[in-house]
Structures are given as C-alpha cells and as structure tokens.
C-alpha cells in the first residue's frame, strides 16, 4: 500500500502536471465503491472548467485545490491506487513491472483530468487508476477540516507533536508499538514498511507494549518517526536512493527462498525475522530489536508458518484478519463415541471428528 512517502510523490506529480492549469475535460468510469458519497458524473461536473490552485497531502490522503466555490477532490489510493500521465508509465508503489503499459486510456482508470495551460494551449492528461477498488474518491469543501483528514492523527512531516506530547500519547496505550504506529488516528501516513523502518532504527521490537517503553526508547522512536519519513520524502520515495543500512533494502520476499545479505555493525550476518502484529506481517532484526517482556505471539518458524498473534486494531484500511486454528473439543469418555481420523487436503493437518453410534462400523 502506498504510504506517506509514495503519496507525497503523487502529490508532487499532480503539482508538476496540473498546477495553475485549467481542467477542460474530465473522463470518468462508473464505480459506486471507489466514488465515496458521490457519483462519477457528479465528480466530473464539479471539476469542469476550474483551475488547479494547489495540491496538498495529509497522511496517506492527497487533495487538489481548485478555484471557485465548489468542492475539491480528496483522494486515497487504498492498496493499488496510482497515477499515470499520458505517454508515460504509471507510478507504481515499489517497482514498475516489465509488463507496465503506456496504453491509453489505461486499464482500471477511474478518472482522467485533461488540464490545459491557458497561455500555451498545451493539454496534459492525468489518470487515477485502481485495480482492486480499495481506493476512495471524495469531494470536500474544506479538505483539512472534513473527514477523512479531520479524523487522522499527526502527520510526521506536517504536524509532528513535541516529544512530551508524543510520549504521553504512546504511554497511555497498552497495545504493541507496531500496532499503534499503524493506527492512522495516531500517526497519519505511517504504514507497514515505514513502521518497520522506524522501529528498526529505534532498536525497538514491534511487539513491545507501548506503556512499558522507557524514556530511552521513546526518544529514538520519536526521532526516527521524523527521520525515516523525512529521508524517504526527500528522495521522492525512490527506494534505490534509500540509505544502504535501511531494513527496507532487505525486508521483502519472505517465504520465497531469498538470501539476505544484511550485516550488523561488526560484519556478522543479521537475522531478519517476521511476526504478525496488528494484523500485518512485520520484519525486524533479532540481534538489535529484543523483546523485554512476555507477549502472546510466535515468531515465524523456520518452516515459514504464520504467527498466531491476536490481531490488534491498527488503521482501518490496512488490517488483515489473522486465521486461527480451530480445535473441536468433545468428551472422550462417552462409550457411544469413537474417533475417526481425517486428514485435511488443504493444510495436511490431522483432525479428529467424533461420530455418534460408530462403535459397530459394520452396522452403517
């Protein structure tokens, strides 16, 4: 999912392409899921013949300011949303796939803005795409004071609180720190990889409980929340320009037999492990991020089996349910019940189901 740095990159693209230009045409496709509280026709009419006066971002949401008294577009990418300029490939979350196309109009297009420079007469086309339909397109009169932005917590780039306020906000929670960082009502814009990066540099285990963190832990947590976001934004979310000591360079590809070359300061290999926290798979370095209190979870085993940590609410659009193993418990002292073993074809787990009246198998 695009996080704060990737959404800031998108806002910059809109500024480069559309700022001070007039929207002379709006193409839309019907989608009553992505268009939130409005129709695609209503969206097009509201933007027609208005000039782009600014582009803003808060958390993972970005918005386009327009002249006149009408409402303005407020956009959220969800999992697979992206922008594409005609004649160029779309801006993907991580890396552009080889099969990426410049065909126009692009697949999964929700709208295309035709913006014209009134002085030169040149027109540029900018499309909003969303394959999985988890993004949202809204219209707001005052983007910063209306939902969804008004419901968000601090933005690490725009509105980071001071250390004292930050410390109090952390310590009044009892959930794992990773789950708190993912909660958009706490830190807007921080997603899965950004949270892992923050915790790695702060040397805090993702399952450490918020109320147990010391001043010596919260101070680097505060600093790294600022620094990770700042550095990623400065390089326009281009991960090839991220520092070589970032966990981002090594955290991808779990379960694919990938060999990791991350090294500790003394040159020895780093051990990257994965657990599920707040409903999300979390990467951490075992030698540097140690858990000091007991928590109810399991580190992913060498066979790649999933942790059974109970999911804790994070952001509304990021949490994924964690499957739990169900065990049927039946009384074993009943003389009328006999166990029959069955093997699941999905997981190769052996389960025992007790059937009534199966003592004499030949009578069935």
* 3-46 pLDDT, tens digit each: 999 999 999 999 999 999 999 999 999 999 999 999 999 999 99
Helix (H, G, I), strand (E, B) or coil at 305: coil
Which residues are the active-site residues?
A: 2-3, 60
| CATH number of the domain to which 136 belongs | 3.20.190.10
Given a cut of 60, whether residue 61 has pLDDT beyond it is: yes
The answer to whether position 310 is within a domain reads no
The full DSSP string for 49-112 is T-BEEEEEEETTEEEEEESSSS-EEEEE-TTTEEEEETTS----SS---TT----SSPTTEEEE
CA-CA-CA-CA torsion sign (356, 362, 363, 364): positive
Q: Which of 142, 143, 139, 165 is nearest to 154 (CA)?
A: 165
The answer to whether position 322 is within a domain reads no
In this structure, are 141 and 68 located in the same domain? yes
Instruction: Specify the pLDDT at position 348.
Output: 39
Cα separation, 354 vs 227, whole angstroms: 58
Cα separation, 34 vs 135, whole angstroms: 6
Helix (H, G, I), strand (E, B) or coil at 333: coil
In this structure, are 24 and 105 located in the same domain? yes
Mean residue pLDDT of the chain comes to 83
Q: Which of 285, 281, 291 is nearest to 273 (CA)?
A: 285
Instruction: Specify the pLDDT at position 265.
Output: 86
In this structure, are 182 and 68 located in the same domain? no
The answer to whether position 169 is within a domain reads yes
Q: Which of 156, 198, 178 is nearest to 58 (CA)?
A: 156
Q: What average pLDDT does this structure show over 97-123?
A: 91
In this structure, are 64 and 181 located in the same domain? no
Given a cut of 90, whether residue 125 has pLDDT beyond it is: yes
In this structure, are 220 and 253 located in the same domain? yes
* Model confidence band, residue 292 (pLDDT cutoffs 50, 70, 90): confident
Cα separation, 210 vs 172, whole angstroms: 8
Which residues does 50 contact at the CB level (< 8 Å), separation at least 6?
22, 23, 66, 67, 68, 70
Instruction: Specify the pLDDT at position 355.
Output: 34
Contact predicate 63/73, CB 8 Å = yes
Q: Which stretch of 24-28, 77-81, 91-95, 134-138 has the lowest confidence by average pLDDT?
A: 91-95
Q: What is the pLDDT of residues 229-285, one digit of tens each?
A: 999 999 999 999 999 999 999 987 665 555 668 888 888 899 999 999 989 999 999
In this structure, are 88 and 226 located in the same domain? no
Bridge-based pairing of strands 337-343 and 109-116 is unpaired
* Model confidence band, residue 147 (pLDDT cutoffs 50, 70, 90): very high
Instruction: Specify the pLDDT at position 255.
Output: 52
Instruction: Specify the pLDDT at position 336.
Output: 42
In this structure, are 186 and 209 located in the same domain? yes
In this structure, are 205 and 333 located in the same domain? no
Task: Point out the domain boundary residue: 252, 285, 318.
Answer: 285
Choice between 339 and 183, residue whose per-residue pLDDT is larger: 183
Q: What is the domain count for the chain?
A: 3
Given a cut of 80, whether residue 102 has pLDDT beyond it is: yes
The answer to whether position 106 is within a domain reads yes
Q: What is the pLDDT of residues 302-361, one digit of tens each?
A: 333 333 333 333 333 444 444 444 444 444 444 444 444 444 433 333 333 333 333 444
The answer to whether position 264 is within a domain reads yes
Instruction: Specify the pLDDT at position 354.
Output: 34
Contact predicate 40/130, CB 8 Å = no
Which secondary-structure segment (H or E) carries 63?
strand 61-66
Cα separation, 46 vs 174, whole angstroms: 45
The answer to whether position 129 is within a domain reads yes
Task: Point out the domain boundary residue: 87, 122, 150.
Answer: 150
In this structure, are 99 and 57 located in the same domain? yes
Choice between 110 and 364, residue whose per-residue pLDDT is larger: 110
Crossing angle for the helix pair 215-234 and 4-18, to the nearest 10 degrees: 30
| CATH number of the domain to which 245 belongs | 1.10.8.50
pTM over 0.95: no
In this structure, are 42 and 174 located in the same domain? no
Contact predicate 34/137, CB 8 Å = yes
Of the chain, the percentage scoring pLDDT greater than 70 comes to 77
The answer to whether position 156 is within a domain reads no
Given a cut of 80, whether residue 141 has pLDDT beyond it is: yes
Instruction: Specify the pLDDT at position 44.
Output: 98
The answer to whether position 307 is within a domain reads no
In this structure, are 14 and 130 located in the same domain? yes
In this structure, are 31 and 142 located in the same domain? yes
Q: How far is CA 212 from CA 39, 171, 176, 192, 311, in A?
A: 48, 7, 10, 22, 19
Instruction: Specify the pLDDT at position 259.
Output: 61
Residue span of the structural domain in which 361 resides:
327-364
């Amino acid at each position: 999912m695009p996080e704060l740095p990737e959404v800031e990159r998108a806002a910059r693209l809109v500024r480069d392409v559309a700022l001070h230009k007039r929207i002379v045409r709006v193409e839309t496709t019907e989608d009553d899921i992505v268009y939130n509280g409005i129709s695609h026709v209503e969206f097009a009419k509201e933007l027609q013949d208005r000039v782009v006066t600014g582009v803003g971002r808060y958390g993972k949401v970005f918005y386009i300011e327009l002249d006149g008294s009408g409402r303005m577009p407020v956009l959220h990418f969800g999992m697979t949303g992206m922008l594409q300029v005609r004649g160029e490939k779309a801006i993907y979350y991580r890396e552009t796939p080889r099969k990426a196309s410049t065909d126009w109009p692009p697949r999964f297009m929700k709208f295309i803005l035709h913006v014209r420079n009134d002085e030169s007469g040149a027109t540029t086309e900018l499309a909003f795409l969303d394959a999985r339909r988890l993004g949202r397109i809204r219209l707001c009169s005052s983007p910063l004071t209306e939902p969804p932005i008004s419901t968000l917590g601090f933005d690490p780039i725009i509105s980071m609180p001071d250390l004292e306020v930050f410390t109090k906000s952390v310590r009044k929670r009892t959930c794992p720190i990773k789950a708190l960082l993912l909660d958009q009502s706490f830190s807007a814009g921080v997603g899965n990889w950004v949270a892992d990066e923050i915790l790695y540099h702060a040397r805090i285990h993702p399952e450490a409980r918020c109320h147990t963190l010391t001043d010596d832990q919260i101070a680097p947590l505060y600093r790294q929340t600022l620094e990770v976001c700042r550095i990623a934004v400065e390089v326009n979310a281009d991960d090839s320009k991220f520092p070589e000591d970032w966990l981002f360079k090594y955290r991808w590809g779990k379960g694919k037999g990938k060999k990791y070359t991350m090294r500790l300061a003394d040159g020895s290999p780093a051990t990257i492990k994965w657990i599920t926290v707040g409903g999300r798979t979390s990467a951490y370095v075992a030698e540097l991020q140690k858990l000091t209190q007991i928590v109810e979870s399991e580190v992913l085993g060498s066979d790649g089996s999933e942790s059974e940590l109970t999911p804790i609410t994070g952001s509304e659009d990021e949490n994924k349910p964690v499957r739990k193993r169900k065990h049927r418990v039946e009384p074993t002292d009943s003389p009328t019940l006999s166990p029959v073993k069955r093997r699941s074809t999905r997981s190769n787990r052996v389960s025992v189901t007790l059937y009534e009246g199966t003592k004499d198998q030949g009578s069935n």
